[in-house]
Amino acid sequence: MTTPNKTPPGADPKQLERTGTVREIGSQAVWSLSSCKPGFGVDQLRDDNLETYWQSDGSQPHLVNIQFRRKTTVKTLCIYADYKSDESYTPSKISVRVGNNFHNLQEIRAFSRRLNMGVWNKQLELVEPSGWIHVPLTDTHKKPIRTFMIQIAVLANHQNGRDTHMRQIKVYTPVEESSIGKFPRCTTIDFMMYRSIR
Amino acid sequence: MEFGDSACFTLSLLGHVYCKTDRLAKGSECYQKSLSLNPFLWSPFESLCEIGEKPDPDQTFKLTSLQNFSSCLPNTCTTLVSNHNISHRQPESVLMETPQDTIELNRINLESSNSKYSSLNSDSSMSYIDSAVISSDSVPLGSGTAILSKQAQNKPKTGRSLLGGPATLSPLTPSFGILPLETPSPGDGSYLQNYTNSSSVIDVPSTGAPSKKTVSRISQAGTKSVFSQSGNSREVTPILVAQTQSSGPQTSTTPQVLSPTIAAPPNALPRRSSRLFTSDSSTTKENSKKLKMKFPPKIPNRKTKSKTNKGGITQPNLNDSLEITKLDSSIISEGKISAVAPQIQAFTLQKAAAEGLMSLLRDMGKGYLALCSYNCKEAINILSHLPSHHYNTGWVLCQIGRAYFELAEYMQAERIFSEVRRIENYRVEGMEIYSTTLWHLQKDVALSVLSKDLTDMDKNSPEAWCAAGNCFSLQREHDIAIKFFQRAIQVDPNYAYAYTLLGHEFVLTEELDKALACFRNAIRVNSRHYNAWYGLGMIYYKQEKFSLAEMHFQKALDINPQSSVLLCHIGVVQHALKKSEKALDTLNKAINIDPKNPLCKFHRASVLFANEKYKSALQELEELKQIVPKESLVYFLIGKVYKKLGQTHLALMNFSWAMDLDPKGANNQIKEAIDKRYLPDDEEPITREEQISECYPYESVGTDESQESSMTDADDTQLHAVESDEF
């Protein structure tokens, strides 16, 4: 199509957390990068600070590997990318792969409802993003995937840049509100009051 | 035992020791003995209730030591003095005040409030009354002596010194009588002063010390009114020591009331009681030292020697005045001032007052016992019948609030607790229950205000940190909540509730092993903490170990038999174990106990649904719909029932309502339930969309938003459908 529209920013993931439907579990995983510039590594990627970022220092594709201790249900990935501050370092094509280990990764279809374009691409295409990108990780039945490992691969950057900046990544798992019974969550306080003894 | 007069305190402490080392039987035996020796003691009674025994308040709180009174009678001042000399040594234990309770200061709980009478008599074995009473200020009765201006001496700081004065019955008389004898010479130093520890806060090494040592402790912070008896002058607050007064037995001190009420002496008595209990109940957490302080009668001579331990004595005798035992105050109020003659009057007055005190203790005891056996409705009933100046005190209201909380009537509980905050906003004990109530009601603003206030007021109390943890847990910031609960545990490792709350947080962050450990710790600290048993049951339920879960829930239920929530959970677990009949019975019981619990009905409906009794399930659900019209789960279940009954349109309608009510819930289950309907029929999606737009029953739930999300959901479904066509 013609000029692709810019990728609109998504909601702040903190809002998502407050709904109580998801929980951030990045802390339960081991993070590793394919390459990084000293001082711009995993810590900066996971420090909840949008000013600091990871800067890669190798050849494409740049990879972020997230490995969990046990098979975890993952619902959403949130990536913060900002074209205005990163320009040619901003990723433009991202592929998300899941599997059991490095040899077993499979790309999953990642699309964002918020994107006007590129819904059907196998990879996530970003056009001048300016905020949080929510990447739902679902399988063909629209359920959150269960996996040991997630790999985020940056395949291309804006303006054909070599290295990439990524400011923050968060991983969310659905909260199982299984207070009792295999039912979905309650919505009213009246039910919730009686749901448990604290 | 060799402790003689102070045997009751010793026994009580021994009871504590036994309980901590898990020898509950011996512990309860010690407590019983202690109570039989001195029926004025509240804390052994409280401990007995808490370990699960059921002491009978009527039996316990009755005056049997009347003879002591009479024996005290004849003492006049002079005699008194001699008596004092003899009996003086009472062990003094000081009650440590926990920093948080300013008011509690008095801790000394007057445990033996009346024992004073007996104590005076050397032969009596009664305990001494710790009268911490303080209150002073009022009226300096009697002649001047004293006054004990001691106040001055005592330390300014928080002074809550609890000085129990051994007010013996005669004390009233004698003490007052003595006063004039003693000159307020500094030399006397009055032991009292020593008690008051002049200035330094001496923490008495609690427990234990039945030894005669006067330790006065000044608790810190509170700085609130102090009940110091003897002039605790230390306290900056107005305490005032009343002082002793001359012959009249009255001690003028009107106890400072914690509650703003009254100054009138007549009220003193009742108030004092509540204070007493309050202080008692507020277990000195921090130090967990409850030392009963006995205040030796004011005998100038003796005092000096006994008290020398602690420093500073600055005050002149005053002590006597301080004794304020409750009775005294009442007596004082009478204002009888005369010398010997009134002693008899004093005695009768005291006896009457003691009787009054006993009946109060009986009532409170019944209420507390009912609460500890989780007989909550009765507890509320009993405690509400207390006279209003007792009712409107922190302790009583907290117990009532807790009773409502255990009944799961959180609105009522919240109302009562906010009343407590209003009248005693320095009170920290019992506030953890308030914070959990607010958590259940999801009142985040109130909860964060509460937690801020509490942590500002007292950083060393586990309740404050529990409240803070609850606040963050409500905001779903579980990591921070975990940190705060751990802090609460650090502040007081013997506080079971902190462990329980921490366990719940770990469950929410899915760290089930740590959660198990926490709940087990809670049970180790207090085996009657049914919340921890419940927590363990929940974890096993999550891990699908249903029989273990049932066992633990049952244990919790044994401790707290009236909890409908527990019964409901047991019912669900039984259903999971395929014992559906039993499940239904249990759920019926739950509904009978508490018809307002909607979850019980919901689960009953779901059990009926699983057993294919669709009509009854539907009926149940319709009733539920009336009670809680906005709950998406109800519609979801109704939808499922209709689906089973083959009424697909109704089913779809209900599913769409359920989704409306829960737009962010991302209820995959609902979507799945709907999607399944679509598989066989391709044109359904369109029909569904139409239906969605048609049946929007609720305007309330952010219609626009929900519409949008439903529409987008519809889009998604369509897209998926399209997609599947493509690939």
State the CB neighbour count (10 A cutoff) for residue A170.
Answer: 21
Which positions in chain A touch B628 (Cβ < 8 Å)? 188, 190-191
> Residue A165: is its pLDDT beyond 80?
yes
> Residue B499: is its pLDDT beyond 60?
yes
Which positions in chain B touch A174 (Cβ < 8 Å)? 666
The string of pLDDT tens digits covering residues B32-41 is 888 888 888 8
The string of pLDDT tens digits covering residues A26-58 is 888 999 999 999 999 999 999 888 999 999 999
The answer to whether the peptide bond before residue A61 is cis (omega within 30 degrees of 0) is yes
DSSP count for chain A of H helices, then E strands = 4, 12
Length of chain B measured in residues: 727
Determine whether the interchain pair A18/B534 forms a contact, defined as Cβ–Cβ distance below 8 Å: no
Pick the residue from chain A with its C-alpha nearest to B716. Answer: A113
Contact B401, B418 (CB under 8 A): no
Q: How confident is the model at residue B668 (pLDDT cuts 50, 70, 90)?
A: low
Of the CA atoms within 13 Å of residue B300, those in its CB half-sphere come to 24
Q: How confident is the model at residue B338 (pLDDT cuts 50, 70, 90)?
A: low
pLDDT of res. A178 = 56
Query: For residues B104 and B518, which has the higher predicted lDDT (pLDDT)?
Result: B518
The string of pLDDT tens digits covering residues A177-196 is 655 566 667 788 888 888 88
Contact B603, B568 (CB under 8 A): yes
Q: Give the highest mean pLDDT range of A54-68, B24-38, B78-92, B272-286.
A: A54-68
Residue B679's φ and ψ, nearest 5 degrees, are -50, -50
pLDDT of res. A109 = 65
pLDDT of res. B40 = 84
Residues near B722 by Cβ (< 8 Å), separated by ≥ 6?
none
Mean pLDDT of the region B421-447: 93
> Residue B543: is its pLDDT beyond 50?
yes
- Position B722, amino acid: V
ipTM: 0.79
Mean pLDDT of the region B649-673: 76
Residue A83's φ and ψ, nearest 5 degrees, are -65, -40
pLDDT of res. B134 = 36
Which of A23, A194, A196 is the closest to B597 by Cβ?
Answer: A194
- How far off is chain B from A76, nearest CA to CA, in Å? 12
pLDDT of res. B189 = 37
pLDDT of res. B142 = 38
Within an 8 Å CB–CB cutoff, is residue B501 touching chain A? Answer: yes
Within an 8 Å CB–CB cutoff, is residue A17 touching chain B? Answer: yes
- How far off is chain B from A92, nearest CA to CA, in Å? 24
Pick the residue from chain A with its C-alpha nearest to B572. Answer: A181
Contact B500, B535 (CB under 8 A): yes
> Residue B545: is its pLDDT beyond 50?
yes
Cα-trace Rg, chain B: 31
Of the residues A74, A111, A194, the best mutation for testing chain B's interface (the one with the most B CB atoms within 10 Å of its CB) is: A194
pLDDT of res. B301 = 42
Give the pTM: 0.65
Q: How confident is the model at residue B55 (pLDDT cuts 50, 70, 90)?
A: confident
Q: Which B residues, 607 through 636, put their C-beta within 8 Å of a C-beta on chain A? A: 627-628, 630-633, 636
Determine whether the interchain pair A191/B568 forms a contact, defined as Cβ–Cβ distance below 8 Å: no
Mean pLDDT of the region B560-564: 91
> Residue B711: is its pLDDT beyond 60?
no
> Residue B546: is its pLDDT beyond 70?
yes
pLDDT of res. A42 = 92
Length of chain A measured in residues: 198
Within an 8 Å CB–CB cutoff, is residue A183 touching chain B? Answer: yes
Tell me the two tokens of residue B1. 């035992």
> Residue B709: is its pLDDT beyond 90?
no
Residue B173 DSSP symbol:
I
Determine whether the interchain pair A113/B436 forms a contact, defined as Cβ–Cβ distance below 8 Å: no
The string of pLDDT tens digits covering residues A97-114 is 999 989 989 888 644 444
Contact A89, A160 (CB under 8 A): no
> Residue B314: is its pLDDT beyond 80?
no
Burial of B65 from C-beta contacts in 10 A (0-12 / 13-18 / 19+): buried
Within an 8 Å CB–CB cutoff, is residue A18 touching chain B? Answer: yes
The string of pLDDT tens digits covering residues B371-381 is 998 989 999 99
Within an 8 Å CB–CB cutoff, is residue B597 touching chain A? Answer: yes
Which of B476, B566, B665 is the closest to A184 by Cβ?
Answer: B665
Contact B102, B192 (CB under 8 A): no
Is the sign of the CA dihedral B47, B50, B55, B59 positive or negative?
positive
pLDDT of res. B256 = 37
State the CB neighbour count (10 A cutoff) for residue B125.
Answer: 19
